[in-house]
Amino acid sequence: MQRNATTRHPILLVHGLFGFDRIGRFELFHDVKQALRDAGAQVFVPQLSATHDNEVRGQQLLTQIQRVLQGTGATRVNLIGHSQGALASRYAAALAPDQVASVTSVSGPNHGSELADSLRKALIPGRLAEHVAQDLATHFAHFLSLLSGQSALPQSAVAALNALTTEGVGLFNRKYPQGLPSVWGGQGAEQVNGVHYYSWSGTLQDDLIASLDPVQNLCRALSGHFVADQGQNDGFVGRFSSHLGNVIRSDYPLNHLDSLRRTNGFRQLSPDPIDLYTEHATRLQAAGL
């Protein structure tokens, strides 16, 4: 039976690092957007810089929120941010709480990522390796932006990396602490300045079928950079680093990219990650959001 998830306010799906709306026929949030629209929700995917810091991307998001409000006649929006998109969403909510009804962090590095810490240490500032990595990543981001029709957006891979380290997010959190837990691994305030805060995320699981998935293998390889969240991460973000507001669950059997997609072929995810978005839309609906 089709779930009714007609929320009071439009939903904006906010992409993270190297994200985009559409390239050709491929849409990053295709399954999520289609499922939410089928359930009755108004859904938009704002375009942000594929690589930049949280505040630059957050400011871009604020501009697009205003466009959605003007175009729909709505008074507020629900933000669902994947990965770094959660930080841009938090920034927008902190600066314009009258325009944001809720922020939902999906696999968001709300306390930074140990993977980013390892990459930052490997790239010594001012050395050739950093310049090469910066150029390659930034040119790739420009290429993605060109393909997705957003070539005018600024890109900075090093700014993005610095913004995702535990130190970088720590500085961000001092300015925008809304919804953060007061103790490590706890829950944060569910409502701050009229904005409702939610989060969910996953952790890597060991099983034979998953080991045949190249994305799972990539996440498994990257998980070796985690120390504090060893064995409790999705390959990119630690379990407890993802906590924000009302923590729905932070140990779904999903890697970092699983929370964006419905896998095809031999590997079936349970729960279906797309169902998590429609379930959440009904949660927002029940809260009058």
Of 14-23, 50-59, 193-202, give the range with the top mean pLDDT: 193-202
- Average pLDDT value for residue range 139-154: 48
Q: Is the pLDDT of residue 208 over 70?
A: no
Annotation says 234 is catalytic: yes
Residues in the chain: 289
Annotation says 196 is catalytic: no
d(CA 7, CA 288): 8
Q: Which two tokens stand for residue 172?
A: 């961000």
Identify the pLDDT of residue 159.
86
- Interhelix angle for 166-175 vs 85-95, to 10°? 20
DSSP 64-88: HHHHHHHHH--S-EEEEEETTHHHH
d(CA 199, CA 275): 15
Residue 146: strand, helix, or coil: helix
User: Mean pLDDT lowest for which of 12-16, 48-52, 260-264?
Assistant: 260-264
* Percentage of residues in the chain having pLDDT higher than 90: 53
- pLDDT tens-digit map of 82-114: 999 999 999 999 999 999 999 999 999 999 988
Annotation says 241 is catalytic: no
In sequence order, which residues have a C-beta less than 8 Å from that of residue 67 and are 6 or more positions away?
none
- pLDDT tens-digit map of 6-32: 999 999 999 988 664 444 344 668 889
Mean pLDDT of the chain: 83
Q: Which of 234, 250, 259, 280 is catalytic?
A: 234
Identify the pLDDT of residue 143.
37
Residue 105: strand, helix, or coil: strand
Domains of the chain: 11-286 (3.40.50.1820)
Q: Report which of residues 55 and 215 the model is more confident about.
A: 55
Q: Which of 9, 49, 83, 280 is catalytic?
A: 83
Nearest Cα to Cα of residue 161 among 178, 126, 137: 137
Identify the pLDDT of residue 160.
84
Q: Which of 53, 256, 258, 280 is catalytic?
A: 256
Q: Is the pLDDT of residue 148 over 60?
A: no
